[in-house]
Structure 1
Amino acid sequence: MKKALLFLLTAVVLTACANSEGAATETEKVKLVLDWTPNTNHTGLYVAQAEDYFKDQGLDVEIMLPGEAGADQLVASGQADFGISAQETLTEARIQDIPVVSIGAIIQHNTSGFASPVEKDITSPADFEGKTYGGWGAPVEKAVLDSLMKKEDADVEKVEIVNMGNSDFFTAVERDIDFAWIYYGWTGVEAELRGQELNMQYLTDYSENLDYYTPVLTTNEAMIKENPDTVEAFMAAATKGYQFAIDKPEEAADILIDAVPDLDPELVRASQKWLSPKYKDDAERWGQQELDVWNNYAEWMLENNLLEQELDAEEAFTNEFLPE
């Protein structure tokens, strides 16, 4: 009798352990689509993957490249659960009833601006006159150029605007353009490593309305409504990943290098050192977004005829999934 009871108890314990182990290893598969090729804007996500922060939240995250469709379209259609976008493109998407929502600011302030080699002698927006700008063909580019140039009584119509597509900035400025719109944290840092001095006109130096969130993490309205626990788990892991990158930029850079071996290790390390303090910057917590920032930029877009109607900014973003 005792032996039978002991056998029964042992079986129960083993079954419970097996069930417990199975529950612990069961994860939900989700897809995350990047906005571009991997870079230091994405470090926190690769950290969250490498350090098992996603796994600890019960998530199995596949990191995807956007392809021709683009991140916003993939997220909106549900082909990806999460994505990386920017406030300017998401604002346009919301006006077109595309159900993408920003759930966290990756970088707290806009680090982009117009860059040119010093020998081009472009030291202010007024110097854009008579020069050739290389862009990607979006209407917002001319509007931003015009906005900055008007402050110095300069005429955007005197700028030759060409589409340089995916051409490398350094090749393009040697070949047929004078200046381009870059993110300093990557291309600017690369210029430093190359020993090429740049003149920069940062957007935030000329307009408070252009200090928008770029990039941001996104999901779609259906995920928020139907799977809020998944969104919360994803943001808990992402927050931990970016906090790691803030606190340990060198280790975070090594994680990104290991995950994406094609990247230039020297550039990744230098970029990470420059960018890590800017993830959170002066915000109370990483990822925080403010309504004024969304309203200010939407107002600027409306004034520059880039929007057909006013944005309902409160529907475009949320802080509810950020850890307290």
Structure 2
Amino acid sequence: MKPLIRSAALLVTVATTLSVTACGGAEDDNTGHTRVLLDWNPNPDHLALYTADHTGAYDEQGLDVEFLLPGNTADAAKDVSLGRADLAISYETDTIIARAEGLDVINVGALIPTPLNSLITKASSGITEPSDLEGKSVATSGLPSQQATLNYIAEQAGIDPESITMPNVQQNLNQALLSDQVDAIFGAYPNIEGVELAQRTDITTLTAAEMGVPSSAELVIIANPTRLSEDDAYADRVRNFLAGTADGHDAAMRDAALAVDALTPETAGAYDPDLLAAMVEATIDILEKGNSDGDTTFGVQNPQAWSDYADWMRENGLLDAATGSNALINGADATTNDYLPA
């Protein structure tokens, strides 16, 4: 769940969800037990996951899936690399950064295959284009990529990135904006934060594309490539998880009400029924457009697009800003479609 979007969500307790810090390694006597670390508290971006769980799609694949709440939004790659989670929901940008840092992760499927990341501000702020951010405060949720991306946006707009204050408010983006703690928020999604904020105040939304950032997959499912190559049981669980999630995705796309039913108990206290339904509809509208190639098949990513995006990150200093090293990295090596359903 995202504040008021991702914040009220902190009040949610999910019987099958545990904090990552409360669990040990990812190994378990139950060979079907699969720990999946979320990128955020449960929210409509996860409709494929929770619809799969709700309809029994994971049970049909022989899996006992445990969704873990993140202690920190930047933990995903580290926890998968170290084996503290079997899989995690992360971001294309941060997966490439993790690879550049030497972490043992690979994308095995896209959950949200197109960009969502946006800058949102109150209409009264007067911010209508990136150059208006000079001297302003812009809250982020603390992902390694966010400050680097904002620096790039500022430089392209001809303003000094150092003039922008960037407090890390974690899952409290909406509250920070609504309480006027900051002038804008970055890392907000139009189908989540945007829907809720629009019901409470007049907003201006600038998408990443409108600010000159190339297209990328917003949410991806990452696994540990060493375990995939050395542990057949793990590889089978990853395949089965993706097959079950694909079934959940397809079911949600056919029936938005089913997705709302699946998400309702997981997001109790975060969203009222009408708000949740509006967010689900907005999310389905985005998913219906498919990935950057227009492919609507669940999970599929274009390795060349990942390669091009990693090249853009390196050429524009995003890798250097996030990792301290502008190392050469082949983005195509950071993704695979091999474990998706045929």
Task: Name the TM-score class by shorter chain.
Answer: 0.7 to 0.9
Q: Distance in 2 between matches of 1:34 and 1:253?
A: 18
Instruction: Give the aligned residue type for 1:256.
Output: L
CA gap of 1:160–1:67, structure 2 versus 1, over 3 A, is: closer
- Corresponding residue of 2:316: 304
Q: Is the 8 A contact 1:164 1:172 kept in 2?
A: no
- Corresponding residue of 1:322: 340
Q: How many residues align?
A: 297
Once the two structures are superposed, what CA deviation does each residue of 1:134-182 show, in whole Å capped at 9, x if it has no partner?
2245564343234333444333333233333443424445333101111
CA gap of 1:261–1:157, structure 2 versus 1, over 3 A, is: closer
Instruction: Give the aligned residue type for 1:219.
Output: A
1:198 and 2:203 aligned: yes
Q: Calculate the TM-score normalised by the size of structure 2.
A: 0.80
Instruction: Give the aligned residue type for 2:330.
Output: D
- Corresponding residue of 2:241: 234
Once the two structures are superposed, what CA deviation does each residue of 1:156-214 show, in whole Å capped at 9, x if it has no partner?
333233333443424445333101111111100111232x12111111123352x1111
Listed as ranges, the matches of 1:1-324 within 5 Å are 28-68=32-72, 70-136=75-141, 140-181=145-186, 182-194=188-200, 196-207=201-212, 209=214, 211-225=215-229, 226-227=231-232, 228-264=235-271, 265-281=273-289, 282-307=294-319, 308=325, 309-324=327-342
Q: Is the 8 A contact 1:75 1:81 kept in 2?
A: yes
Once the two structures are superposed, what CA deviation does each residue of 1:225-260 show, in whole Å capped at 9, x if it has no partner?
223222211111110111112221122111111344
Once the two structures are superposed, what CA deviation does each residue of 1:59-102 show, in whole Å capped at 9, x if it has no partner?
11111112258222222122221111111111111112211111
CA gap of 1:70–1:144, structure 2 versus 1, over 3 A, is: closer
Q: Distance in 1 between matches of 2:223 and 2:142?
A: 26
Which consecutive unaligned segments of at least 5 residues does structure 2 have?
1-29, 320-324
Instruction: Give the aligned residue type for 1:192.
Output: A
How far is 1:314 from its partner? Answer: 2.7
Q: Distance in 2 between matches of 1:165 and 1:232?
A: 31
Q: Distance in 2 between matches of 1:143 and 1:61?
A: 34
CA gap of 1:278–1:57, structure 2 versus 1, over 3 A, is: same
When structure 1 is superposed on structure 2, of 152-161 and 285-294 the one drifting more is 152-161
Q: Distance in 2 between matches of 1:76 and 1:190?
A: 34
Q: Distance in 2 between matches of 1:58 and 1:164?
A: 39
Instruction: Give the aligned residue type for 1:285.
Output: T
Kindly indicate which of the two structures has a greater share of residues assigned to helix: 1
Q: Describe the SS at the equivalent of 1:84.
A: strand
Once the two structures are superposed, what CA deviation does each residue of 1:4-52 show, in whole Å capped at 9, x if it has no partner?
xxxxxxxxxxxxxxxxxxxxxx972211111111111111111111111
Q: Describe the SS at the equivalent of 1:160.
A: coil
Instruction: Give the aligned residue type for 2:307.
Output: N
Q: Distance in 1 between matches of 2:84 and 2:199?
A: 38
CA gap of 1:58–1:139, structure 2 versus 1, over 3 A, is: closer
Q: Calculate the TM-score normalised by the size of structure 1.
A: 0.84
Q: Distance in 1 between matches of 2:185 and 2:173?
A: 10
Q: Is the 8 A contact 1:186 1:271 kept in 2?
A: yes
Instruction: Give the aligned residue type for 1:300.
Output: W
Q: Is the 8 A contact 1:104 1:216 kept in 2?
A: yes
When structure 1 is superposed on structure 2, of 310-319 and 116-125 the one drifting more is 310-319
CA gap of 1:138–1:304, structure 2 versus 1, over 3 A, is: farther
Query: Which structure has the larger Rg over C-alpha atoms?
Result: 1
Instruction: Give the aligned residue type for 1:147.
Output: Y
Q: Percent identity?
A: 28
